[in-house]
Amino acid sequence: MAVRLKATCSECLTTHWSEMELGQEQIKCPACGHSLQSLPEGEFNEIELTIKKQRTNNIIALIAFGVAVIGFFCWVFKPELKYWSFPHAPQEDFWMTTGFPALTIVGLLVCLVFSVLGARHRFIIEF
């Protein structure tokens, strides 16, 4: 899998996005042509794994944010709860006083935690 990383050239100090793949021999600056040997395989695999984990954490954060938004709008706009016919469903008061606010708060907290986990590491290669 190709990894997209920011790379800074030590010759002309240009920062650009670089698509890097395993087995790629050199990193080359598009502005001045300066090049250097690419990352070793172990380091590349570690970066790739970290980026995959961050992507998963960001997806979870996005889903949690969606759940929070749905909970908030249900709380504010008070939908017809009679269509939500779960067996032994709690009363409408339960959803308005506890259920939807709790869903909103829990969704936002989960979103906060996973978005922090998803943005903890940034990689910039200087060559």
Contact set with Zn ion (CB under 5 A): 9, 11-12, 14, 29, 31-32, 34
Q: How does DSSP classify residue 120?
A: S
Shortest separation between residue 35's beta carbon and Zn ion, angstroms:
9
Q: List own/partner pairs for 54-60 with CB under 8 A and 24 or more apart.
A: 54/117, 54/118, 54/119, 54/120, 54/121, 55/118, 56/118, 57/114, 57/115, 57/117, 57/118, 58/114, 58/115, 58/118, 58/119, 60/110, 60/114
Residue placing its CB nearer to Zn ion in the complex, 9 or 27: 9
Q: How far is the CB of 36 from Zn ion (least distance, A)?
A: 10
Closest by CA position to 68, among listed 23, 25, 109: 109
CB of 14 to Zn ion, least distance (A): 5
Nearer to Zn ion, 9 or 74 (CB): 9
Minimum CB separation from Zn ion for residue 121, in Å?
25
Strands 15-20 and 3-8: antiparallel
Q: Which is nearer to Zn ion, 28 or 53 (CB)?
A: 28
Q: Measured from the CB atom, is 15 or 97 closer to Zn ion?
A: 15
- Quickly tell me which residue has 């800074």 as its tokens: 8
